Amino acid sequence: MPVSSADTTRPDDSTRFLGQALSRLRWATVSALLLLTLLQPIIGRFGMPSWSLLLLFAAYNGLCQWLQISWPALHSFPRQAILDLPAAGLVYFFSARPGGPAFVLIVLAVVCAAVSLSPRGTLLYTVAAGVMVVAIAPTLPMWSPTAGHAHELGARLVALALIGVGSTILARHMSLEQAAARASRDEAEHLAELDRLRASFVETISHDLQTPLAAMRASLGLLDASAGGRLQMEERDLLDSARRNNQYLGLLIDDLLALNQLEAGTLHLDHQLLDLRNVIIDALGIMHPLLENKGQTLEVDLPATPVRVKGDARRLGQAVTDLLHNAHRHTPPGTHVTVCARQLTTEVRLSVSDNGPGIAAADVEAVFRRFHRLAVHSSGSGLGLAIARELVDRHAGRIWAESRPGQGAVFHIALPCASEEALRDAEIADR
- Residue-wise pLDDT for 337-362, tens only, equals 999 999 988 899 999 999 988 888 88
- Calculate the alpha carbon distances from 346 to 215, 276, 308, 415 in Å: 43, 15, 11, 9
Reported as a pLDDT band with limits 50, 70 and 90, residue 425 is low
Query: Which candidate, 402, 288, 415, places its Cα nearest to that of 346?
Result: 415
Same domain, 96 and 217: yes
* CATH number of 416's domain: 3.30.565.10
Q: What pLDDT does residue 195 have?
A: 74
| One domain for residues 206 and 303 | no
Query: Based on the domain organization, do 70 and 216 belong to the same domain?
Result: yes
From the list 241, 239, 218, the residue with the least C-alpha distance to 230 is: 239
- Segments in 71-146 forming alpha helices (H): 77-95, 103-114, 119-136
118, 157 in Cβ contact below 8 A?
no
CA–CA dist 268, 115 (Å, integer): 52
- CA–CA distances in Å: residue 311 to residues 110, 316, 415, 419: 69, 7, 9, 12
- Whether the pLDDT of residue 159 is over 70: the answer is yes
Q: Where among 268, 295, 310 does a domain terminate?
A: 268
Whole-number average pLDDT of the chain = 81
Dump pLDDT digits (tens) for 358-399: 888 888 898 898 877 665 445 556 788 988 999 999 999 999
Q: For position 170, what pLDDT does the model report? A: 80
One-letter amino acid at 226 equals: S
CA torsion 164-169-174-180 (nearest 10°) is: 150
pLDDT exceeds cutoff 80 at 174: no
Same domain flag for 259 and 285: no
Q: At what angle do helices 276-293 and 313-329 cross, to 10 degrees?
A: 30
Q: What is the band of 164 on the pLDDT scale with cuts at 50, 70, 90? A: confident
Q: Are residues 239 and 326 both part of a single domain?
A: no
Question: Do 335 and 206 sit in the same domain of this protein?
Answer: no
Number of domains in the chain: 2
The reported pLDDT for the residue numbered 4 is 44
Tell whether 233 and 110 lie within a shared domain. Answer: yes
Point out the domain boundary residue: 250, 268, 286.
268
Question: CA 379, CA 368: separation in Å to the nearest integer?
Answer: 16
SS3 call for 271: coil
Residues 228 and 328 in one domain: no
Handedness of CA 337, 343, 346, 347 (dihedral sign): positive
Domain that holds residue 214: 1-268
Residue 2 is predicted with a pLDDT of 53
258 and 276 both lie in a single domain: no
Q: From CA 265, how far away is CA 166, in angstroms rounded?
A: 49
pLDDT value at 282 more than 80: yes
Please check whether residue 408 is in contact with residue 337, taking contact to mean a CB–CB distance below 8 angstroms.
no
Q: Is the pLDDT of residue 7 over 50?
A: no
pLDDT bin (cut points 50, 70, 90) of residue 280 is very high
pLDDT score, position 281: 92
Considering the domain architecture, whether residues 377 and 230 belong to the same structural domain is answered as: no
The residue from 243, 268, 293 where one domain ends is 268
* Per-residue pLDDT tens digits for 147-158: 667 777 888 888
364 neighbors 402 (Cβ within 8 angstroms): yes
Q: Model confidence over 39-55: pLDDT tens digits?
A: 888 888 888 888 888 89
Per residue in 95-119, pLDDT (tens digit) is: 888 888 888 888 888 888 887 788 8
Residue 9's pLDDT is: 40
Q: What pLDDT does residue 241 have?
A: 75
Q: Is the pLDDT of residue 16 over 70?
A: yes
Give backbone dihedrals phi and psi of 64, rounded to 5 degrees, phi first: -60, -40
Least confident of 135-144, 310-319, 412-421: 135-144
Residues 145, 208 share a domain: yes
Same domain membership, residue 217 and residue 198: yes
Confidence of residue 6 (pLDDT cuts 50, 70, 90): very low
Please count the other Cβ atoms lying within 10 Å of the Cβ belonging to residue 89: 20
